[in-house]
Amino acid sequence: MRVALAADHGGLELKNSIRSWLEKAGYSVEDFGVHTGESVDYPDYAKIVAEKVASGEFDRGILVCGTGIGMSIAANKVPGIRAALVHDVFSARATREHNDSNILCIGQRVVGEGHALAIVEAWLRTEFSGGRHSRRVEKIGAIESVYCCRSLEGSQSAD
Ligand code: RB5
Protein backbone atom coordinates (compact mmCIF):
# COMPACT_ATOMS: atom_id res chain seq x y z
CA MET A 1 0.00 0.00 0.00
CA ARG A 2 1.34 3.44 -0.99
CA VAL A 3 0.78 6.13 1.63
CA ALA A 4 1.17 9.89 1.04
CA LEU A 5 1.98 11.82 4.21
CA ALA A 6 2.17 15.52 5.08
CA ALA A 7 1.80 17.98 7.93
CA ASP A 8 1.95 21.67 8.66
CA HIS A 9 4.21 23.09 11.40
CA GLY A 10 1.57 22.13 14.00
CA GLY A 11 1.88 18.46 13.06
CA LEU A 12 5.58 18.11 12.21
CA GLU A 13 6.69 15.89 15.10
CA LEU A 14 3.73 13.52 14.92
CA LYS A 15 4.07 13.31 11.13
CA ASN A 16 7.71 12.27 11.55
CA SER A 17 6.73 9.61 14.12
CA ILE A 18 4.05 8.30 11.77
CA ARG A 19 6.56 8.15 8.91
CA SER A 20 9.00 6.09 11.04
CA TRP A 21 6.18 3.78 12.11
CA LEU A 22 5.00 3.30 8.51
CA GLU A 23 8.52 2.53 7.29
CA LYS A 24 9.10 -0.01 10.08
CA ALA A 25 5.72 -1.61 9.37
CA GLY A 26 6.71 -2.05 5.71
CA TYR A 27 4.43 0.52 4.05
CA SER A 28 5.60 2.43 1.00
CA VAL A 29 5.48 6.02 2.23
CA GLU A 30 6.30 9.39 0.69
CA ASP A 31 6.68 12.40 2.98
CA PHE A 32 5.53 15.63 1.29
CA GLY A 33 6.63 17.84 4.20
CA VAL A 34 6.89 19.93 6.17
CA HIS A 35 10.48 19.26 7.15
CA THR A 36 11.06 22.24 9.44
CA GLY A 37 9.01 23.99 12.12
CA GLU A 38 8.60 27.13 10.02
CA SER A 39 5.01 28.38 9.93
CA VAL A 40 3.15 27.30 6.75
CA ASP A 41 -0.46 27.15 5.52
CA TYR A 42 -2.08 23.74 6.03
CA PRO A 43 -4.30 23.90 2.88
CA ASP A 44 -1.15 23.79 0.70
CA TYR A 45 -0.18 20.41 2.20
CA ALA A 46 -3.73 19.04 2.29
CA LYS A 47 -3.99 19.80 -1.43
CA ILE A 48 -0.78 17.93 -2.28
CA VAL A 49 -1.78 14.73 -0.47
CA ALA A 50 -5.44 14.90 -1.52
CA GLU A 51 -4.48 15.19 -5.19
CA LYS A 52 -2.01 12.30 -4.89
CA VAL A 53 -4.75 10.08 -3.47
CA ALA A 54 -7.55 11.29 -5.75
CA SER A 55 -5.41 10.66 -8.85
CA GLY A 56 -4.67 7.08 -7.76
CA GLU A 57 -0.92 7.67 -7.45
CA PHE A 58 -1.23 6.79 -3.75
CA ASP A 59 -3.70 4.42 -2.10
CA ARG A 60 -4.15 6.39 1.11
CA GLY A 61 -3.10 9.68 2.66
CA ILE A 62 -2.37 10.82 6.20
CA LEU A 63 -2.43 14.51 7.16
CA VAL A 64 -1.42 16.02 10.48
CA CYS A 65 -1.90 19.58 11.75
CA GLY A 66 -2.47 21.02 15.20
CA THR A 67 -6.07 19.84 15.42
CA GLY A 68 -6.47 17.85 12.19
CA ILE A 69 -9.51 20.01 11.46
CA GLY A 70 -8.04 22.38 8.88
CA MET A 71 -6.42 19.50 7.01
CA SER A 72 -9.71 17.56 6.89
CA ILE A 73 -11.73 20.55 5.70
CA ALA A 74 -9.22 21.32 2.95
CA ALA A 75 -8.65 17.71 1.81
CA ASN A 76 -12.40 17.13 1.48
CA LYS A 77 -12.59 19.88 -1.15
CA VAL A 78 -10.76 17.63 -3.63
CA PRO A 79 -13.17 15.43 -5.63
CA GLY A 80 -12.91 11.77 -4.70
CA ILE A 81 -11.50 12.43 -1.24
CA ARG A 82 -13.17 11.14 1.89
CA ALA A 83 -10.95 12.55 4.63
CA ALA A 84 -11.78 11.51 8.20
CA LEU A 85 -10.72 13.44 11.28
CA VAL A 86 -10.06 10.73 13.85
CA HIS A 87 -8.89 10.81 17.47
CA ASP A 88 -9.83 7.33 18.71
CA VAL A 89 -9.28 3.76 17.55
CA PHE A 90 -13.00 2.94 17.37
CA SER A 91 -13.61 5.75 14.87
CA ALA A 92 -10.48 4.80 12.90
CA ARG A 93 -11.95 1.33 12.28
CA ALA A 94 -15.48 2.63 11.77
CA THR A 95 -14.53 5.22 9.17
CA ARG A 96 -12.78 2.56 7.10
CA GLU A 97 -15.62 0.03 7.47
CA HIS A 98 -18.46 2.50 6.90
CA ASN A 99 -17.08 5.49 4.97
CA ASP A 100 -14.20 3.94 3.00
CA SER A 101 -12.17 6.99 4.04
CA ASN A 102 -9.05 7.43 1.95
CA ILE A 103 -7.34 10.14 4.02
CA LEU A 104 -6.81 10.11 7.78
CA CYS A 105 -6.43 13.47 9.56
CA ILE A 106 -5.02 13.69 13.08
CA GLY A 107 -4.28 16.58 15.42
CA GLN A 108 -0.88 16.57 17.07
CA ARG A 109 -2.20 18.90 19.78
CA VAL A 110 -5.10 16.56 20.51
CA VAL A 111 -3.71 13.04 20.89
CA GLY A 112 -0.45 11.64 22.23
CA GLU A 113 2.01 9.87 19.99
CA GLY A 114 1.23 6.31 21.12
CA HIS A 115 -2.49 6.80 20.71
CA ALA A 116 -1.99 8.39 17.29
CA LEU A 117 0.10 5.43 16.09
CA ALA A 118 -2.58 3.00 17.29
CA ILE A 119 -5.14 5.04 15.30
CA VAL A 120 -2.94 4.91 12.19
CA GLU A 121 -2.47 1.15 12.52
CA ALA A 122 -6.20 0.50 12.99
CA TRP A 123 -7.11 2.77 10.07
CA LEU A 124 -4.62 1.18 7.66
CA ARG A 125 -5.50 -2.40 8.61
CA THR A 126 -9.28 -2.10 8.43
CA GLU A 127 -11.09 -2.91 5.19
CA PHE A 128 -14.23 -1.25 3.84
CA SER A 129 -17.28 -3.39 4.69
CA GLY A 130 -19.16 -2.68 1.45
CA GLY A 131 -22.81 -3.80 1.36
CA ARG A 132 -25.20 -1.06 2.53
CA HIS A 133 -22.21 1.20 3.15
CA SER A 134 -21.37 1.18 -0.57
CA ARG A 135 -24.73 2.74 -1.35
CA ARG A 136 -24.09 5.49 1.20
CA VAL A 137 -20.59 6.20 -0.06
CA GLU A 138 -22.00 6.36 -3.59
CA LYS A 139 -24.48 8.96 -2.35
CA ILE A 140 -21.58 11.05 -1.05
CA GLY A 141 -20.09 10.87 -4.54
CA ALA A 142 -23.46 11.88 -6.02
CA ILE A 143 -23.56 15.01 -3.85
CA GLU A 144 -20.00 15.79 -4.90
CA SER A 145 -20.84 15.39 -8.58
CA VAL A 146 -23.60 18.00 -8.26
CA TYR A 147 -21.19 20.62 -6.93
CA CYS A 148 -17.84 19.61 -8.45
CA CYS A 149 -16.93 19.82 -12.10
CA ARG A 150 -14.45 16.98 -12.43
CA SER A 151 -12.73 14.03 -10.83
CA LEU A 152 -8.95 13.65 -10.61
CA GLU A 153 -9.04 9.86 -10.89
CA GLY A 154 -6.57 8.69 -13.53
CA SER A 155 -5.18 12.19 -14.03
CA GLN A 156 -2.34 14.20 -12.62
CA SER A 157 -2.29 17.23 -10.32
CA ALA A 158 -4.75 20.04 -10.97
CA ASP A 159 -1.95 22.65 -10.95
C1 RB5 B 1 -1.66 26.14 13.04
O2 RB5 B 1 -1.44 27.00 14.11
C3 RB5 B 1 -3.03 25.46 13.19
O4 RB5 B 1 -4.03 26.40 12.91
C5 RB5 B 1 -3.14 24.27 12.28
O6 RB5 B 1 -2.11 23.37 12.55
C7 RB5 B 1 -4.43 23.48 12.38
O8 RB5 B 1 -4.72 23.15 13.72
C9 RB5 B 1 -5.58 24.01 11.67
O10 RB5 B 1 -6.67 23.45 11.64
The domain locations on the chain are 2-147
pLDDT score, position 139:
97
Rounded CA gap, 157 and 147, in Å?
Answer: 19
Level-2 CATH architecture, domain 2-147: 3-Layer(aba) Sandwich (3.40)
User: What is the per-residue burial (b if ≥16 Cβ within 10 Å, else e) of 6-21?
Assistant: bbbbbbbebbbbbbeb
With a 6 Å cutoff on the Cβ, whether 72 touches ligand 1 is no
Stated as kind and residue range, the H or E segment containing 95 is helix 89-99
Active site residue 35: no
Atom of ligand 1 nearest to the CA of 109: 8
With a 6 Å cutoff on the Cβ, whether 8 touches ligand 1 is yes
Mutate to test the pocket of ligand 1, among 14, 34, 65 (most ligand atoms within 8 A of CB): 65
Q: How far is the CA of 71 from the centre of ligand 1 (A)?
A: 8
Q: Write out pLDDT tens, residues 29-86.
A: 999 999 999 999 999 999 999 999 999 999 999 999 999 999 999 999 999 999 999 9
Q: Write out pLDDT tens, residues 85-142.
A: 999 999 999 999 999 999 999 999 999 999 999 999 999 999 999 999 999 999 999 9
pLDDT band at 148 (very low <50, low <70, confident <90, very high): confident
What is the pTM assigned to this prediction?
0.94
Q: Which of 9, 35, 87, 98 is catalytic?
A: 98
Active site residue 65: yes
Which residue CA neighbors atom 7 of ligand 1 most closely?
66
| Strand-by-strand arrangement of the 103-107 sheet | 28-31, 2-7, 60-65, 103-107, 83-85
Name the β-bridge partners of 4.
30, 61
